[in-house]
């Protein structure tokens, strides 16, 4: 069985995001970048399935500038067999990414597509659902556990009220939540081996997909600075401030 794993290059989670001086977006020049943490979980889950003998091949896919090859190689160092790079410049919207992945599904015919539930840079949480709809495949979103057996995948989904169990026919689309697993660190030997693994270059034109943005960002601003808290002497003073200053009661 073959698994397609989508990975995205984002600003590292430990970096403080700063808005550009012209307010057209966030600053990415000379900023540490890494694989989206939810996508790391997706890669780890695919590798665990391969280690368990359930999966024969893992294909890591990423769309973006030339630098995303580093993200693909990270996935291969974790255990992916090969990679596909779809070169794109500029911002890629979730619908465009979903269309690219749909075209790659048609080309690669994977039994399972796994990706993070969202990217930490835009927090859209849309691509997996859009892909499932475009490909007309069952989807299990926010997965905290999954089990493969007899051409089906059983997914434990994290929902507001707890967990929901769904059983999906393969091929299917899965998006991963935080509690699905803890990603492994790539070892140095595997990092060196990943440098020799194949990364196939497939353009959006080859896939017949138009990635032209459909949305326009007018302005990006820093959130307002929060004022510091104060200590009140008693409940009466607290109520007075809530009523007359904050005006919330």
In the predicted model, what is the mean pLDDT of residues 141-154?
93
How open is the CA angle 227-225-8, to the nearest 5 degrees? 140
Specify the DSSP class assigned to residue 179.
G
C-alpha distance from residue 220 to each of 14, 144, 227, 239 (Å): 21, 33, 21, 36
Burial tier of 162 (Cβ tally within 10 Å: 0-12, 13-18, 19+): exposed
Specify the 3-state DSSP secondary structure of 31: coil
Question: Is it the case that residue 222 has pLDDT exceeding 90?
Answer: no
Angle between helix axes 94-108 and 127-135 (nearest 10 degrees) is: 50
Specify the DSSP class assigned to residue 241.
H
Each residue of 63-118: pLDDT tens digit? 999 999 999 999 999 999 999 999 998 889 999 999 999 999 999 999 999 999 99
pLDDT at 89: 87
Q: What percent of the chain has pLDDT over 70?
A: 100
pLDDT at 73: 96
Q: On the CB side of 123, how many CA atoms lie within 13 Å of its CA? A: 1
Best CA proximity match to 92, nearest among 61, 63, 62:
63
Best CA proximity match to 152, nearest among 138, 134, 132:
138
C-alpha distance from residue 162 to each of 38, 157, 165, 168 (Å): 20, 8, 10, 19
Architecture, CATH, for domain 2-244: 3-Layer(aba) Sandwich (3.40)
Q: Give the pTM.
A: 0.86
Each residue of 15-55: pLDDT tens digit? 998 998 888 888 888 899 999 999 999 999 999 999 999 99
Q: Tell me the two tokens of residue 63.
A: 């769309």
The secondary structure of 101-170, three-state, reads: HHHHHHHHCCCEEEEECCCCCCCCCCHHHHHHHHHCCCEEEEEEEEEEECCEEEEEEEECCEEEEEEEEC
């Amino acid at each position: 069985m073959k698994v397609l794993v989508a990975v995205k290059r984002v600003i590292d989670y430990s970096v403080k995001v700063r808005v550009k001086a012209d307010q057209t977006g966030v600053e990415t020049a000379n900023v540490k970048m890494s694989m989206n943490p939810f996508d790391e979980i997706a890669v780890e889950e695919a590798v665990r399935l391969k280690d368990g003998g359930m999966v024969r091949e893992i294909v890591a896919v990423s769309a973006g500038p030339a630098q995303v090859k580093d993200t693909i190689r990270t996935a291969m160092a974790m255990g992916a067999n090969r990679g596909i790079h779809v070169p794109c410049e500029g911002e890629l919207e979730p619908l465009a990414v979903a269309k690219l992945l749909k075209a790659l599904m048609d080309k690669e015919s994977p039994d399972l597509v796994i990706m993070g539930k969202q990217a930490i840079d835009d927090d859209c949480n849309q691509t997996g659902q859009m892909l499932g709809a475009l490909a007309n495949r069952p989807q299990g979103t926010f997965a905290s556990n999954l089990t493969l057996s007899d051409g089906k995948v059983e997914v434990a989904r994290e929902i507001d009220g707890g967990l929901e169990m769904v059983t999906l026919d393969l091929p299917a689309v899965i998006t991963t939540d935080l509690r699905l697993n803890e990603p492994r660190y790539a070892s140095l030997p595997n990092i060196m081996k990943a440098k020799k693994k194949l990364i196939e270059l497939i353009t959006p034109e080859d896939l017949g997909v138009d990635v032209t943005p459909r949305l326009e960002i007018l302005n990006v601003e820093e959130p307002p600075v929060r004022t510091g808290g104060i200590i009140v002497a008693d409940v009466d003073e607290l109520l007075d401030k809530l009523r007359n200053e904050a005006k919330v009661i």
